[in-house]
Amino acid sequence: MQDNKGKIFILYRNKKIVFEEKEIKVKDIIKRLNLSTDYAFAVKNGEILDANEIVKAGDEIKIINAISGGIR
């Protein structure tokens, strides 16, 4: 069986990304994904997380990138 306890699971645009850290701030996850806190944010169990919130190993969060482009 796979040990998932020491990992942080991030769902971003239908892709699952695994971070090996024990803990990391939301804003650092956003930065690592090459995004900005100006247009991206994290959601955990339907709740929006503050950019300074610490995510811990075993947590599953979703990153929403609000930016969209093209002619609308």
Partner 1 sequence: MRKCIKCGKQTQIYLPQHRLALCKEDYKTWFESRTERTIEQFKMFDRTEKILVAVSGGKDSLSLWNVLVKLGYNADGLYINLGIHEYSKISQEKVQKFANSIKKQLHIVEIKSEFGKSIPEIAKDRRKPACSSCGAIKRYYMNLYAHKLGYNVIATGHNLDDEVSVLLLNTLSWNVDYLSRQYPVLPEENGFVRKVKPFCKASEKETAMYAVLSNIDYIEDECPYADGSTTINHKKILAQIEEFSPGTKLRFYLEFLSKMYPLITEKKKNEVVIKSCRLCGEPTQYEICSICRMKA
How many chain residues interact with partner 1 (CB under 8 A)?
23
What DSSP designation does 70 have? S
2 binds partner 1 (CB under 8 A): no
Strand blocks (E) in the chain? 8-12, 15-19, 23-25, 40-44, 47-49, 54-56, 60-65
Least separation in angstroms between residue 22's CB and partner 1 is: 21
Under rule CB under 8 A, which residues in 30-49 are in contact with partner 1? Answer: 36-41, 43, 46-49
Q: How far apart are CA 68 and CA 45, in angstroms?
A: 24
Which residues bind to partner 1, rule: CB under 8 A?
13-14, 36-41, 43, 46-50, 53, 64, 66-72
